[in-house]
Amino acid sequence: MMKELQVNTIPKQKKMGEIVYEEIRKKIIQNEILIQQTIYETKLAEQFNVSRTPVREALMQLVKEGLLVEKGRGYKLPTLNISEVKKIYQVRKYLETSVLDLGVSTIKETTIKKLTKQLDLEKASNISKDIRGFIRANRRFNLVLMSICSNEHLLKLVNLYSDRIELYRAKALRTQEIREKVIYHHKELLIFLEKRDTEGAKATLATLLEEGIEDWGSHLVS
């Protein structure tokens, strides 16, 4: 039997379309929707206790963002081939190194401490083989790192392309060799950030993303 999508009932006074969109998007990013699972507009409307209109709007927005695809009368997670993965990583490399260009020289000590905390959590989760814990720490590390940029338009694009890979990244991070490689590059990245070395930080992040194409590509392909 297909896993039912668990959702929270939406208070009537809130903007339905936006809240439904945020709720479904969060489920996608947190890997709470299965690759083979089909979700249906009518069922979601019942679960959210709202009309079908805001659910339809939310689903169509997620389709536009590449986080869902239409399949018959329902919606599923998209499958990515290696060519698509490479293109997404090329875009991520350009966008995320641009973030470092804008923010490394003025990065705050509090931000470095937050990054260090997430790196420590990555290390601890890797040792204990807590895959979910590692994935959470890895995502938070990336979110904190990207927060050094104040250009909200750039960050919106960064999040869009990062989230498209997040759908499948969990598969790759089950491999200890890949987790250890991520930890190595994050340690190296922190060294450059502490020195406010923009070029060193950009080169390290670029290497991590380039390796991601090879290391994670086979895991991202259905």
Q: Residue ranges of the domains in the chain? A: 16-76, 82-220
Superfamily of domain 82-220: GntR ligand-binding domain-like (1.20.120.530)
User: Cα(43)–Cα(211) distance, rounded to whole angstroms?
Assistant: 40
Q: Reply yes or no on whether the pLDDT at 160 is more than 60.
A: yes
pTM, entire model: 0.80
Domains 16-76 and 82-220 equal at CATH topology level = no
Write the CATH number of the domain with boundaries 16-76: 1.10.10.10
Contacts of 12 (CB under 8 A, 6+ apart): none
Cβ–Cβ < 8 Å for 115, 59: no
First to last CA, the chain: 21
pLDDT of residue 219: 57
Q: Reply yes or no on whether the pLDDT at 222 is more than 50.
A: no
Q: Reply yes or no on whether the pLDDT at 131 is more than 80.
A: yes
